Structure 1
Amino acid sequence: LPMEPAGSRKPSDHLYWARTQSTTNPVEHKPLDKEAAAALQQSAVAKGAAWNAASTWEEKDISKWARELLSEDLLLSITTEFDLSSADASKLPEMTQGTHGLRCSLKVASVTSVTGDVTHVLSRGKQRVVFELGLKLTLEIEIREAGELKHIVTGTLNIPEITNEELDETKLPSHKLTCDDRPWSSFLGVAAGRMWPNLKLALSALVEQAKQKWL
């Protein structure tokens, strides 16, 4: 047979087209029912968490629990007693200066608010509790001379932000004090400063209790 010249072929001549009509029905995609969708999602979560099987990193928001513990227990347990030094006495109102042997007892009378976030972190088997909180407390100070009650001073301590880093500080973090009896405002600042070590203990107790609860 004579060969067909190569130049006379069309690019589509090598294609083969079926001469009969396909009888295969098109694939119909049906949406998953609720049970199948839930199973698929659970499987995806399990696969996504597989990398963390060795407790490489895990976080848990414990803010609600922590705020309740602080408001209802730890902060209300704060009390501080101290004898006035000469430097402390200089902050007393003029009407009380010159008195001697004064002893002060400070307590958190009520917790107005605790805001912010607390997170429990498990990293490579080690626990950390990270907090960033705002505290607003009502303080009450009793001032006695030779055991006799002389004055009661009340006021509000507002700490807008306190974090783990402040636990290493020796002074009360940035705050605002409002005294209900203005002449005692300076002395309220002295008393609040004396309270700081016990406030740090309360926050440290929060950290330790969180570690025990989510161990």
Structure 2
Amino acid sequence: MADGATEKKTSYRYWVREASCDAAPRSVPRKLSVDDLSKQAQLPSNTLGSVWNQAGTWEEKNLNGWANDRIREMLKSVGSLDFVDGRADITEVSKCAGDAFLVTVRNKKRVGYTYELSLKFKGEWAVGGEARKEVKGHLDVAEFSFGELDDLELEVRISEEKGLDGQDKTRIRSDMKAFLPLIRDRLRLFEEELVHRS
């Protein structure tokens, strides 16, 4: 055994592609010509997605630019609400962060998104039997996704708390939660528009 006649054999094997193999040549990407595109336009299309993806396999399209602008536009139109002791307006969409996308999988179109929002508000409330006091703050909507609008939650942050006691803050936060159905309605409309994008 000292002469090395018995070698330890291993069961591990791996395949090596050599240039001399009869393997198929590697594919080379080719840019579609104008002629290719015009021929494609003349054929009846039963596939979704791009010309290069005739099999309808995986294709993802980023819709962030359109989605961010559309969400901001829709939420700016929420407007104002009147309460028993006050009134408030949404003044700005200060945060609209997330992703929206269109995916073509097996020749079927699917859309989705995940976003976080923060909206600035300004309002006036009667505080402590005195004249109305201006109050500013934010309405924060934590991360939400396509099809989850029924679970939407709204957190109210009051920026200027000077001169407000605990009851005032609680009342203002409660009043501001009335914006939730309006925000939810705008986002439902956004989802419908997203679904109909091609």
Structure 1 CA distance for aligned equivalents of residues 29 and 76 of structure 2: 45
Q: CA deviation at 1:126?
A: 6.1
Q: CA deviation at 1:199?
A: 0.7
Q: Which amino acid aligns with 2:159?
A: C
Matching residue of 2:160: 180
Structure 2 CA distance for aligned equivalents of residues 107 and 42 of structure 1: 55
Higher RCO structure, 1 or 2 (CA under 8 Å, sep 6+): 1
Runs of 4+ residues over 4 Å off in structure 1: 122-128
8 Å contact kept, 1:112–1:137:
yes
Matching residue of 1:49: 53
Q: Matched residue pairs, number?
A: 147
Q: TM-score, normalised by structure 1?
A: 0.55
Q: Residue 41 of structure 1: SS of its match in structure 2? A: coil
8 Å contact kept, 1:120–1:129:
yes
Which of 194, 200, 214 aligns to 2:178? It is 194
Structure 1 CA distance for aligned equivalents of residues 188 and 153 of structure 2: 15
Q: Residue 81 of structure 1: SS of its match in structure 2? A: strand
- Aligned sequence identity (%): 20
Q: Which amino acid aligns with 1:200?
A: R
8 Å contact kept, 1:114–1:136:
yes
Q: CA deviation at 1:81?
A: 2.5
Structure 2 CA distance for aligned equivalents of residues 82 and 123 of structure 1: 47
Q: 1:157 and 2:161 equivalent?
A: no
Q: CA deviation at 1:129?
A: 3.2
Q: Residue 178 of structure 2: SS of its match in structure 1? A: helix
RMSD: 3.4
8 Å contact kept, 1:106–1:191:
no
Larger-Rg structure: 1
Structure 1 CA distance for aligned equivalents of residues 171 and 156 of structure 2: 14
Q: CA deviation at 1:80?
A: 4.7
8 Å contact kept, 1:179–1:185:
no
Name the structure where helix makes up a greater proportion of residues. 1
Structure 1 CA distance for aligned equivalents of residues 51 and 178 of structure 2: 53
Matching residue of 1:211: 195
Structure 1 CA distance for aligned equivalents of residues 134 and 108 of structure 2: 46
Q: Residue 97 of structure 2: SS of its match in structure 1? A: strand
Q: CA deviation at 1:42?
A: 3.3
Any idea what the Cα deviations from partners look like across 1:73-124, whole Å, max 9, x if unmatched?
111111352544xxxxxxxxxxxxxxxxx3x433211121211111124567
Q: CA deviation at 1:57?
A: 5.6
8 Å contact kept, 2:83–2:175:
no
Matching residue of 2:95: 113
1:1-16 pair list within 5 angstroms: none
Structure 1 83/163 Cα, relative in aligned 2: closer, same or farther at 3 Å? same
Matching residue of 1:9: none
Structure 2 CA distance for aligned equivalents of residues 135 and 106 of structure 1: 18
8 Å contact kept, 2:74–2:186:
yes
Structure 1 165/207 Cα, relative in aligned 2: closer, same or farther at 3 Å? closer
Q: CA deviation at 1:210?
A: 2.5
8 Å contact kept, 1:66–1:118:
yes
Structure 1 179/191 Cα, relative in aligned 2: closer, same or farther at 3 Å? farther
Structure 1 123/203 Cα, relative in aligned 2: closer, same or farther at 3 Å? farther
Any idea what the Cα deviations from partners look like across 1:135-178, whole Å, max 9, x if unmatched?
1221122447xxxx833321122334122343123x625x4623
Structure 2 CA distance for aligned equivalents of residues 82 and 176 of structure 1: 17
